[in-house]
Structure 1
Amino acid sequence: MSITQQYVLDTYRARRNGEPLPPAPGAHDWQVVRELRDHRQFRAVLAGRPAHGRIRRALSRLLHPRRRPTTG
């Protein structure tokens, strides 16, 4: 059974029983993404890592490595 078919069945049952309709599939996807981002930032702070700009900083290190002074 697909997600759409399950949603139609749940909607039918809810209307028949006088219950509130379930949310449509995908209605809360962006909220879940935001909560996941917030959770990852929270975990980073607890671990003592910076919460913002970690990916950009890592890419910057890969693309522009520091030149180490040569001793001689």
Structure 2
Amino acid sequence: MQTFEDWNQKAKKTFNATSNEVVLTLTEAGSLLGLSKDQMKVYVDKNGLTKVPIMRSVHRYLLLKSEIDALVG
């Protein structure tokens, strides 16, 4: 039986496997900062964090883990 994997998680896993940069989804980054996904979207735009675009999707993106770690630390 196949288990369901969120599309954002699939994109993150593929990106992390092929890049030197580690990325997080909006939900993961938001949970580290105590924000919801929607609040995190506003936070990213307001603070100019780097958005890693996902091919074939204009509205989806991943965030650099290094930037989130700097904010948390």
Q: Which has the higher contact order (CA 8 A, sep 6+)?
A: 2
Larger radius of gyration: 1
TM-score (norm 1): 0.27
TM-score (norm 2): 0.26
